[in-house]
Chains A and B, each alone.
Chain A
């Protein structure tokens, strides 16, 4: 496939790795913000191929995993109502709320549908005028234009039975929060390429300047990630802190103006809680007053639900590279991939889940007999 295969070439990857090795002279801690990049890094084993000096800290860029517990609890409440068809991207169904998840609500008879696109949810609302269709609108800036278009269309078509439960988050305030956290170790950022495809790069020069940190817009294929790392390391070695675009084929400086206009038409900036991290000022979007009728929190009166995150989870510190997952008392005991407390254990690419998986590799062999009940 064009634009994928060429950026997956092992020979060129080797050259980029050699170049990174040739450039680096001392340790650097880089954060890839986006969960999609973390996925690619683990999928291709890129972290193992980098020189020891380059440390990758996996950032909080999985929208599913950072959706706050409180919002999941609201979703569960709404989805359990008999008049509701609750639509969601599939990733959200398994994220645990306080005492259950959407799978459980579905098992108990809730009408929960997995959709590929928010426009599929809109179609359901047209087909079922007698039902309330609620779409769980999660995601970063990349997903916002899609969700905005769905609710914009609903209003235009007069579909009063279509609402969004919004938990949108934004990348730049998260970078700000990470950089201002006490003891922050991050020295350079690989910015999320597809977020920038939509938003452009305008929000980043100020961040780079104020925190004196290189921010390199990075894609998702192996060569893209290696190029992002190469550019970041080169800046760090030279003492620079610029915004650089290492994903120029998909990112323009001004992003996608039509998509930004639609986002601004439908959403306004608000504070948001991030699971495992806490409240970050101005880090999210909510529907504007004009779209209040399409806001599920108001339609179903769940604004009163307040849930605290588990106190024993130290995901926030892990996400910032302040502690290793194994430093957390809950790691591997009360917190496992099957019973996660925080974002980093919920996602299979989260730092804690990855540690949990790889730790098993180094465990001693089980005696054969124990593993072999009939042999």
Chain B
């Protein structure tokens, strides 16, 4: 395979980009402000509609008397295999989780492969095996698929696109616009594991660390939470852009503020160390098996108890609350007693020197 860029120069924390890019730059896929612009300026004018305008991880739609959640995602990761998982795990768990964030019970997935000429079949096999195992764990069926091959040099080995559908239970209405002042903000476990695990094996940046990606299906955890109360306001899986991106999106969509207690945010020591050494903020680092929930204050303790009794929510913690102040913004009370604004990232955060 052709030699790759040493580190993916997607988006950096320090300086801002020139805005009027007539070409696609890496930041357009970063899940941050540039991605949002792409949707607003190109996709929405072309085929925008009320469902798309919800800007949720999965759309909830009525079809033949059923309430369905529908979601799709393309998976591109370098390297393809990393501590704790591979592209295949992400392709299944990512779409399953996007469905679950609407409160849906994921049921069926599709899987489309784009393979690069010259890739070892054993690599494809390992990814497919991982997808099969992840689907079984998540309780979904991969019901249809497709395969295309591109010439050598025109892809990163393997790309996978999955789409999924699931049924949304009655009385469940989970979307970012429903965040209300007073809601407890709960995260399901320690953050930053996936992003740091992937960076640790990226060419040109390799560092030794005993961290595995947190990639996992959250569907069963969500079902457990909904058993406590159907009135969960918001769920989000903080993938690209980390907790910071998810919380900013929720604050903006609902017109509320989010206030976090820095000391309550569960950051594993090795993640904190890696972030310190690379100049990253754990709040912006990707997760693949975590969710953040906005829950009415009266239900928060019961939901937390149920989460903690579930393997995927064992480390669940209340990290802050939804407030009326500073609408659209996320503010963190620091360990020292000050505050700082946590803004929407421009895209994936990567190492800095200054």
Residue A238, interface by CB 8 Å: no
A373/B353 in contact, CB under 8 A: no
A107 contacts B254, CB within 8 Å?
Answer: no
Interface membership of A256, Cβ < 8 A: no
Of A107, A115, A373, which is within 8 A of B23 by CB? Answer: A107
Partner-binding segment picked from A204-212, A280-288, A353-361:
A353-361
Contact B15 A91, beta carbon cutoff 8 Å: yes
Known: A113-B5, A114-B5. A1 touches B273 (CB 8 A): yes
**Is A158 an interface residue when CB atoms closer than 8 A count as contact?**
no
Q: Is B6 an interface residue (CB 8 A)?
A: yes
Given A366-B255, A374-B53, A338 and B335 contact (CB-CB distance below 8 Å): no
How distant is the Cα of A36 from the Cα of B276 in the complex, in angstroms? 12
Residues 209-254 (chain B) with a chain A CB within 8 angstroms: 252-254
Between A106, A120, A338, the greatest number of chain B beta carbons within 10 A of the residue's beta carbon is seen for A338
**Contact (Cβ within 8 A) B16 A115:** no
User: In this assembly, does B340 line the interface, its C-beta being within 8 Å of a C-beta of chain A?
Assistant: yes
Separation in Å of the A338 CB from the closest CB of chain B? Answer: 5
Measured between alpha carbons, how far is A103 from B30 in the docked complex, in Å?
Answer: 13
* Contact between chains at A43 and B340 (CB < 8 Å): yes
- Chain B residues lying within 8 Å of A338, measured Cβ to Cβ, are 16-17, 19, 33
Which A-chain residue is minimally distant from B23 (CB atoms)? Answer: A107
B26 in contact with A103 (CB, 8 Å): yes
Which residues of chain B come closer than 8 Å to A108, judged between CB atoms? Answer: 23
A212 vs chain B, min Cβ distance (A): 30
Instruction: Report Cα–Cα, A259/B6, bound state, in Å.
Output: 27
Interface contact B338-A361, CB-CB below 8 Å: no
Contact B353 A143 (CB under 8 A): yes
A94 contacts the other chain (CB 8 A): yes
Given contacts A47-B338, A338-B17, A63 and B5 within 8 Å (CB-CB): no
- Per a CB cutoff under 8 Å, which of A89, A116, A143 touches B204? A116
Q: Is the CB of A48 within 8 A of B338?
A: yes
By the criterion CB–CB under 8 Å, are A371 and B350 in contact? Answer: no
**Would you give the shortest CB distance from A45 to chain B, in whole angstroms?**
2
Q: Which residue of B14, B326, B336 is within 8 Å of A94 (Cβ)?
A: B14
Find B7's partner among A94, A95, A116, A124 (CB 8 Å cutoff). A116
User: Interface residues of B: mostly helix, strand, loop or mixed?
Assistant: loop
Number of A residues whose C-beta is below 8 Å from B? 70
Whether B17 and A101, one on each chain, are in contact in the complex, defined by CB atoms closer than 8 angstroms, is yes
The chain A residue sitting closest to B3, CB to CB, is A127
Contact A90 B350 (CB under 8 A): yes
Q: Tell me if B54 and A96 are in contact (CB < 8 A).
A: no
List residues 314-335 of chain B with CB under 8 A from any CB of chain A: 324, 326-329, 331, 333-335
B129 at the interface (CB under 8 A from A): no
Given the known A-B contacts A42-B340, A114-B350, are A346 and B15 also in contact in the complex, defined by CB atoms under 8 Å?
yes
Q: Report yes or no: A116 in contact with B341, Cβ–Cβ below 8 A.
A: no
Q: Which 8 A-B pairs have the closest CB atoms?
A: A45-B338, A371-B255, A375-B177, A346-B15, A114-B7, A365-B327, A107-B23, A95-B15
The residues of A with any CB-CB pair to B shorter than 8 Å are: 1, 4, 8, 10, 13-14, 35-36, 42-49, 62-65, 87, 89-96, 99-101, 103-104, 106-108, 112-116, 120, 124, 139, 143, 222, 337-340, 345-348, 357-358, 360-362, 365-368, 370-375
8 contacts between A and B (CB under 8 A): A1-B272, A104-B23, A108-B23, A114-B9, A338-B16, A340-B16, A360-B326, A365-B327
